[in-house]
């Protein structure tokens, strides 16, 4: 097999993951290269590198999302960020002769909802509004 044409997009591409805050789970692994790419010859044309990149597939400037340095190149991120977060990335994989990119993969961690509502201090005063059924024009 010609390794210059050995990587294709996966038949079924993953949904953009959305997951809830969890103070007990510091890191969550959501996907690996098999979710994005199909390697037609795993013996001779196996993937040697995969990287997280910015949208548009430029150099990654973020720090939340990581990818392991060995196959299956698992993609991990924090799940315990109180304020939550969303990040759009590109996944780039190569076998040394062919490089493919899956762009605009969006990952979202929903905020800790137990901290979403705060008490306003000082509390508003109790005010009574009088209802007047007479309408003037």
Beta bridge partners of 39: 7
Tokens representing 104 are: 């605009």
Q: What is the 3-state secondary structure (H, E, C) of 51-98?
A: EEECCCCCCCCCCCCEECCCCCCCEEEECCCCCCEEEEEEEEEECCCC
Stretches in the chain below the pLDDT threshold 70: 116, 123-130, 133, 135-137
pLDDT in tens, 91-127: 999 999 999 999 999 999 999 988 767 777 776 666 6
Residue 102: per-residue pLDDT: 96
Give residue 85's pLDDT. Answer: 95
CATH, domain 3-115, list 3.30.43.10, 2.40.128.20, 3.40.630.10, 2.60.40.10: 2.60.40.10
């Amino acid at each position: 097999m010609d390794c210059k044409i050995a990587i294709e997009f996966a038949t079924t591409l993953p949904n953009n993951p959305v997951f809830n805050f969890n103070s007990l789970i510091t890191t969550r692994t959501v996907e690996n290269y098999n979710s994005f790419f199909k390697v037609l010859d795993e013996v001779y044309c196996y993937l040697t590198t995969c990287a997280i990149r910015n949208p548009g597939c430029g150099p990654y400037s973020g720090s939340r999302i990581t990818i392991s340095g060995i196959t299956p190149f698992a993609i991990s991120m924090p799940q315990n960020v109180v304020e939550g977060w969303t990040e759009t990335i590109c996944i780039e994989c190569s076998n040394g002769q062919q490089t493919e990119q899956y762009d605009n993969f969006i990952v979202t961690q929903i905020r800790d909802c137990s901290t979403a509502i705060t008490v306003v201090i000082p509390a508003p005063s109790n005010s009574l509004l009088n209802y007047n059924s007479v309408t003037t024009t």
